[in-house]
Chain A
Amino acid sequence: MYGTLDVSTSGMIAQRTRMEVIASNIANSGTIENAQGEYEPYLRRAAMFSPVSTNGVGMGVEVAEIQIQEGATRAEYRPEHPFADESGYLQVPDIDPTVEWVNGLQASRAYEANIVAAETTKNMMAQALRLLA
């Protein structure tokens, strides 16, 4: 039983990080400038999960990296924009809110599943404690 709660918590943390990445993508779906005001369209981020093991025993999941997806922009025809190129096209972030929203649904369901697992482990630990009482 030792470490079982750690496993479920790692799952919750990973899914919560994924939600933050999704929220950042949605919030920045129109961002084309960086902090210094230079032209730098926001590139979509994605959380990469990988399983964690200690000595061959599975110990949950971790966010291996938050990948910045190169080339995740699309061209929009905006000839009047100061940052548009010679043909009048502007590179804007290629973020589809529907895709982000569905990923967010999946992340929140996975978070719930991990909570259920943690609750079950808690109940089992309570059973073990009742052995002594």
Chain B
Amino acid sequence: MAAGASPDPDAALALRARGGDRTAMEELVIRHQEAITRLLWRFARSPSDLEDLVQETFLRMVRGLPGWRADQPFLHWLYRIATNTGRDYFRRRTVRQRWMADQPENEDDAPLPEAVDPAPDPAARAAANEVKAMLDHLSPDDRTLLTLHHLEGWGLGDIARQFGWTLAATKIRAWRARRQLRAHLQSSPSP
């Protein structure tokens, strides 16, 4: 996770934004959109989903600004919004997958063709797609946990703080999620 114990570099800007200053809000978006995009790409299954997630995160930021308190680092607060947006996205996908369980193939699940979505590193993109597809079989919360832990490299303590879970509960959840994932991989046929 970013942002340490040093004075919050966003505090002045965020205070202006909280007061309703649109320019300050836009400045915050410009400053953090890359980091938020990078984080939410771990969740999104397609570039169009990513666009939606990033937009939703910043709209939630605008709506939530009156409730932001200056005693918490702005970036931590924004990351919390982003991870909750990602988790909600997993929840929506889970519900949709249940509804569409009878369908042979969900088109939205398939990554876009290379011609439309040229990845700078196709091997990395393929690996990411494979990992995301594997994590797809877990519950939204477990999937969020392993996504942040494995793909984003967050510690379990950071994740626990982010979602208000205890560290012990987070460790148990991670262990259970890995066991479930392992069982699924062993039971599924090789590609």
Are chains A and B native binding partners rather than an unrelated pairing?
no
Which residue numbers of A lie inside 8 Å of B, CB to CB?
A: none
